[in-house]
């Protein structure tokens, strides 16, 4: 699958074969439609949380942060928007049953208070690098670590609705970190079918758009990405394509030559991964126009939806 940007043509729908069950299926359609309408009427009576995340959560999932807390920006009218689960999930099908997805919310809100710990060097195969960083922020102070946790939690809800088992590298439940080598190890030990690290960039004003980072072919020290380069590119292309379609965002105008795809060999989270994995920089927090999107609850829901649909497409083949 090749990713060609926001103006790509949608694929032609497949022609369905007709068989002896066609008449029977046609007869069942009105009943199925009636059942779906009843389900929708019941489902629509429920409510959502103020920041746009659904109120129903899986066991063991941390509750949504209150407005003004480290995991949530100041609330706005758009933060009350309800997430849109896919029609497949609403119909009760679980296409990702048995699949494991590791979601890595980049950085940690507490990193800023643990500079000695996060500045410690760790081996990433090609060289040594800092354990982690504090991340960036918008000019108004909304941090990357807040953003990544919010999008990751929304993404978890959507993937779990599809039947996936979702594991986090951190969920605001530790004071700092984890280090980049541990983030990779969590995905490896979970034998993840797919892993994704959520980020936002800190480039110059005027630099706009998202990009997906793919692992380079690395074989040095503890790093060996040769087996995951191909499937990681497939995952990244699907995530990029669906991110464009759902959010309406354009690929980065400052890296990736307009493709929205970048290959790197200097990220420990990719170098040390043994499972298909990509990073996504959802936008530039230092650009005022991108920042307006990144601080919008309704846009973050779209970001999570686009990422989710890319992962679902990859795992279903």
Which is the catalytic residue, given 144, 160, 281, 309?
A: 281
Q: Is 281 a catalytic residue?
A: yes
CA dist., res. 184 & res. 6, Å (int): 31
Tell me the C-alpha to C-alpha distance, in Å, between residue 231 and each of 133, 226, 315: 28, 10, 10
Distance between alpha carbon 48 and the CA centroid of its chain, in Å? 21
Nearest of 61, 263, 270 to residue 149 by alpha carbon: 61
Q: Identify the helix (H) or strand (E) that includes residue 293.
A: helix 288-294
Q: Is residue 174 packed enough to be buried (19+ CB in 10 Å), middle (13-18) or exposed (0-12)?
A: exposed
Which strand ranges, in their side-by-side order, compose the sheet holding 211-215? Answer: 165-168, 100-105, 194-201, 277-284, 211-215, 261-264
Catalytic residues: 281
């Amino acid at each position: 699958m090749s990713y060609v940007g926001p103006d790509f043509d949608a694929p032609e729908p497949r022609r369905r074969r007709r068989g002896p069950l066609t008449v029977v299926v046609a007869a069942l359609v009105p009943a199925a439609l009636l059942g779906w309408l009843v389900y929708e009427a019941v489902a629509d009576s429920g409510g959502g949380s103020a920041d746009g995340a659904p109120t129903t959560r899986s066991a063991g999932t941390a509750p949504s942060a209150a407005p003004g807390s480290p995991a949530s920006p100041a609330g706005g009218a758009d933060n009350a928007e309800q997430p849109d689960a896919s029609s497949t999930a609403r119909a009760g099908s679980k296409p990702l049953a048995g699949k494991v997805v590791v979601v890595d919310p980049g950085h940690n809100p507490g990193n800023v208070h643990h500079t000695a710990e996060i500045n410690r060097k760790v081996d990433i195969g090609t060289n040594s690098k800092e354990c982690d960083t504090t991340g960036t922020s918008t000019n108004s102070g909304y941090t990357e670590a807040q953003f990544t946790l919010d999008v990751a939690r929304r993404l978890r809800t959507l993937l779990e609705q599809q039947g996936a088992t979702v594991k986090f590298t951190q969920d605001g439940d530790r004071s700092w970190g984890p280090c980049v080598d541990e983030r990779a190890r969590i995905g490896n030990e979970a034998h993840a079918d797919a892993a994704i690290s959520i980020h936002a960039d800190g480039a110059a004003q005027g630099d706009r758009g998202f990009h997906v980072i793919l692992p380079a072919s690395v074989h040095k020290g503890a790093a060996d990405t040769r087996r995951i380069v191909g499937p990681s590119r497939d995952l990244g292309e699907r995530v990029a394509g669906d991110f464009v379609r759902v959010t309406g965002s354009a690929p980065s105008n400052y890296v990736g030559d307009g493709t929205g795809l970048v290959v790197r060999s200097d990220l420990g989270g990719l170098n040390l991964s043994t499972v298909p994995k990509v990073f996504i920089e959802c936008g530039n927090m230092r650009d005022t126009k991108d920042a307006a999107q990144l601080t919008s609850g309704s846009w973050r829901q779209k970001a999570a939806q686009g990422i989710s649909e890319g992962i679902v497409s990859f795992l279903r083949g």
